[in-house]
Amino acid sequence: MDIRVGLAQINPTVGSLATNAAKILDFYNQAVAAGCDVVAFPELSITGYPPEDLVLKDGFVSENQMVLAEILKAVGETVAVVGFVDSEKDTVKLYNAAAVCQNGKIIGVYRKHLLPNYDVFDEQRYFTPGVHNPLFTIKGACVGVTICEDIWSPSGPVSVQASLGAVLNLNINGSPFHAGKIGSRREMLGARARDGECVVAYVNQVGGQDELVFDGGSMVLTADGTLVANAAQFVEELLICDLALPKSKSVPAPQQSRGQIAEPLDGDAQIFAALVLGTRDYVQKNGFTDVVIGLSGGVDSALVATVATQALGSEHVHGVAMPSRYSSEGSISDAELLARNLGIDIQTISIEPAFSAYLNSLEPSFDGRKADLTEENLQSRVRGTTLMALSNKFGWMVLTTGNKSETAVGYFTMYGDSVGGYAVIKDLFKLKVYEICAYVNQQSSHDLIPQSIIQKAPSAELRPDQRDDQSLPPYELLDPILELYVEQDKTAREIIALGHDPDTVKRIARLVDMNEYKRRQGAPGVRISTKAFGKDRRLPITNKYSG
């Protein structure tokens, strides 16, 4: 029993029902032209994933169903599996569902059983779990359909459907990227295929949606767990795979299945690609073409500018150097060298006149008090205001450059260096920033990011001879503690028990906790870890716990 399966790894836009439908039809027609018997689209492909509270609007849910009805009209013999929001008549119940469509009709609907409600997911806020396991006959083969989370449970609907006779499971996903996920995903899919003795065809959305990046990486694994087709990550693609399926579970599957297998990306390449796609989609899906970045001559802004250039093209990226009385000569020349390497424009605007004006205006109020953090923050806020003025005047989105280490301990100025629409590297610890810079340079024929930027000691340059390590432990100590405290939810006590310096751990834990209010007013940015500062970490601001 030969069957040609298409996996349409598309990049929808949340809420854009009409353009999502057009994209679905475009890929459907490509699949028909390629002779596919069935083509599967990602989870909630009509609405884009995750639609969040949009599904609480009755009007939105009915429009998504009207759009599905429009799509149906164009569906012929080739089966289309399309993710949409289903509802139960005369109730408020909603379902995360897949419509199985053929010849202008919905031949069946599968409703997701397992609704993730952890990390970034809130599906139990919206949806009622499905309980049925409909099976479909496609070109003579018994086929099951499941949605995302459903396949992660060994005893879930995939195994139930297999036991009912399914020889192929089409699993449609909105599965966000995090570093290292693709390995565990492939391993899990292999296990599920072997457990159920069925082929697993996994299709995943691609694209950026606020903080999430969906990496695609759709794949097909045969009943023995062999990977026979694999789409590239981070790009739209119609993955086609020819499967040799048994007619029923009683006959062993012959080994004659094949599709294209994309070259896998290594770890740093995946992270860089996620940053690029997340940034491009956030900027462009929100109607911007150009971005502006404060270039300090440091490594964070250098990486952000590099990502932006890759995402948007060098002509759409604008650098600004904003020297103060404390800026080193190297800061400006390094920023200029970087801009030259990237082919982006750069202008220089001194923050001195506005800084001086503030100091004069505030002098009576400050009443002779000595300079402190106030004056450092003031300079940072003059920079932020300057970038926002350029943003307002020219319609450029400001990209902000804070990394996860700074964000964690609050080593940034609210309304200062934190201003901006998108925080590209907010989920990269400082040491990871260096690692990705090294990756970037290794990919280029030369040092795209100048060594002088990479080598210099990190500094905010807000007072004479300032260096980060005067305020913070060295990043080699800081980052591992932050990873335990923030990403692994260890308490300070537990981290100390692991052998870290007690005073350092307590101080860092306190800084992380007391700066929740600052993070809460920060820009969104690409999530690349299992616990970013976003929807996956919901800690109270008012919080006196110090464990």
Catalytic center residues: 43, 112, 148
Show contacts with a copy of itself in window 206-265 (CB under 8 A): 208-210
Interface pattern 296-335 for a copy of itself (x via CB under 8 A) = ----------------------------------------
Half-sphere exposure of 322 (CA within 13 A, CB side): 28
Cβ distance to a copy of itself smaller for residue 17 or 424: 17
Cα-trace Rg, the chain:
26
Rule CB under 8 A: choose which of 2, 15, 431, 507 binds a copy of itself: 15
- Identify each DSSP E strand in 311-384 by its residue range: 317-321, 345-348
Q: Which of 259, 255, 260 is nearest to 241 (CA)?
A: 259
Contact between 422 and 524 under an 8 Å Cβ cutoff? The reply is yes
Cβ distance to a copy of itself smaller for residue 8 or 382: 382
Nearest distance in Å: CB 28, a copy of itself: 21
**Window of 81-89, 260-268, 413-421, 430-438 that interacts with a copy of itself by CB under 8 A:** 413-421
Instruction: State the burial class of residue 252 (Cβ atoms within 10 Å of its Cβ: 0-12, 13-18, 19+).
Output: exposed
Instruction: List the structure tokens of 317.
Output: 């990226």
Show contacts with a copy of itself in window 93-132 (CB under 8 A): 117-118, 122, 124-125
Contact between 189 and 208 under an 8 Å Cβ cutoff? The reply is no
Rule CB under 8 A: choose which of 245, 419, 437, 505 binds a copy of itself: 419
Rule CB under 8 A: choose which of 3, 5, 7, 14 binds a copy of itself: 14
Is residue 530 involved in binding a copy of itself (CB under 8 A)? no
**Window of 35-43, 174-182, 252-260, 531-539 that interacts with a copy of itself by CB under 8 A:** 531-539
Cβ distance to a copy of itself smaller for residue 251 or 362: 362
Question: CB neighbours (10 Å) of residue 368?
Answer: 6
Nearest distance in Å: CB 245, a copy of itself: 38
Residue type at position 421: G
Q: How far apart are CA 469 and CA 139, in angstroms?
A: 65
Show contacts with a copy of itself in window 272-301 (CB under 8 A): 281-282, 285-286
Show contacts with a copy of itself in window 487-526 (CB under 8 A): 489-491, 493-494, 517, 520-524
Q: What residues have CB less than 8 Å from 58, skipping those under 6 apart?
A: none
Question: CB neighbours (10 Å) of residue 118?
Answer: 9
Nearest distance in Å: CB 492, a copy of itself: 9
Q: Residues in contact with a copy of itself, total (CB under 8 A)?
A: 86
The phi-psi region of residue 30 (left if phi > 0; otherwise alpha if psi is between -120 and 50; otherwise beta) is alpha
Give exposure, 523-547, as e/b (b: 16+ Cβ within 10 Å). Answer: bbbbbbbebbbbbbbeeeeeeeeee
Show contacts with a copy of itself in window 43-82 (CB under 8 A): 50-54, 56-60, 63
Show contacts with a copy of itself in window 342-371 (CB under 8 A): 347, 349-351, 353-354, 356-358, 360-362, 364-366, 369
Nearest distance in Å: CB 475, a copy of itself: 24
Cβ distance to a copy of itself smaller for residue 309 or 377: 377
Nearest distance in Å: CB 51, a copy of itself: 7
Instruction: State the burial class of residue 2 (Cβ atoms within 10 Å of its Cβ: 0-12, 13-18, 19+).
Output: middle
Show contacts with a copy of itself in window 371-400 (CB under 8 A): 372-374, 377-378, 381-382, 384-386, 388-390, 392-393
Residue type at position 261: I
SS (H, E, C) 180-202: CHHHHHHHHHHHHHHHHCCEEEE
Helices 299-312 and 430-443: crossing angle in degrees, nearest 10, is 50
Q: CA–CA distance from 201 to each of 7, 21, 213 (Å)?
A: 8, 22, 21
Nearest distance in Å: CB 546, a copy of itself: 8
Nearest distance in Å: CB 46, a copy of itself: 11
Is residue 176 involved in binding a copy of itself (CB under 8 A)? no
Is residue 409 involved in binding a copy of itself (CB under 8 A)? no
Nearest distance in Å: CB 470, a copy of itself: 19
